[in-house]
């Protein structure tokens, strides 16, 4: 029986992550894999400090988006909403005083994702945190 999570299949696999945060350049690895019989999608990100390693568990709920529970090596834990439709990948967290959003575009051949994280600390102004690129590994 098809699952709503099947929409996330384009993410499954290993990716090289390249990001720039200020003067820091990060090259890391992201791994997306199914947990169980596609009950959840697990996203692991491995990076060298100062970038945190992270783990996210993504699941379907009763809305038209996905729930994403995020944990990282700094001890942070957050809950985000997520969609992946027509090659457009969105992640967001609305929280007074510190909201975040992610925009990613998958290439037509499925081998690259151009993305960026933004944040909002005053409930009005969005600023670029950092751009990043995912490149699918063979």
Could you state, in order of their start, the residue ranges of all structural domains in the chain? Answer: 4-136
Instruction: Give me the chain's average pLDDT, please.
Output: 94
pLDDT at 2 over 80: no
Average pLDDT rounded to a whole number, residues 126-138: 96
Beta-bridged to residue 133, according to DSSP, are 18, 114
Measured distance CA(87)–CA(128) in Å, rounded: 21
Measured distance CA(84)–CA(124) in Å, rounded: 25
pLDDT at 109 over 70: yes
For 52-96, the pLDDT digits (tens) are: 999 999 999 888 999 999 999 999 999 999 999 999 999 999 999
pLDDT at 1 over 80: no
At 51, the pLDDT band (50, 70, 90 cuts) reads confident
Measured distance CA(61)–CA(77) in Å, rounded: 19
- Which of the following CATH numbers is that of domain 4-136: 3.30.565.10, 2.40.128.20, 1.10.8.10, 3.40.605.10? 2.40.128.20
Measured distance CA(34)–CA(9) in Å, rounded: 9
């Amino acid at each position: 029986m098809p699952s709503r999570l099947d929409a996330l299949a384009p993410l499954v696999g290993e990716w090289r992550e390249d990001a720039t945060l200020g003067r820091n350049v990060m090259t890391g690895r992201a791994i997306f894999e199914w947990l169980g019989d596609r009950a959840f999608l697990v996203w692991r990100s491995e990076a060298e400090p100062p970038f945190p390693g992270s783990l996210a568990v993504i699941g379907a709920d009763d809305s038209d988006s996905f729930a994403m529970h995020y944990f990282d090596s700094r001890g942070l834990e957050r809950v985000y909403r997520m969609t992946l439709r027509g090659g457009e990948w969105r992640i967001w967290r609305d929280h007074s005083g510190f909201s975040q959003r992610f925009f990613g575009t998958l290439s037509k051949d499925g081998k690259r994702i151009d993305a960026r994280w933004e944040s909002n600390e005053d409930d009005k102004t969005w600023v670029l945190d950092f751009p990043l690129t995912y490149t699918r590994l063979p």
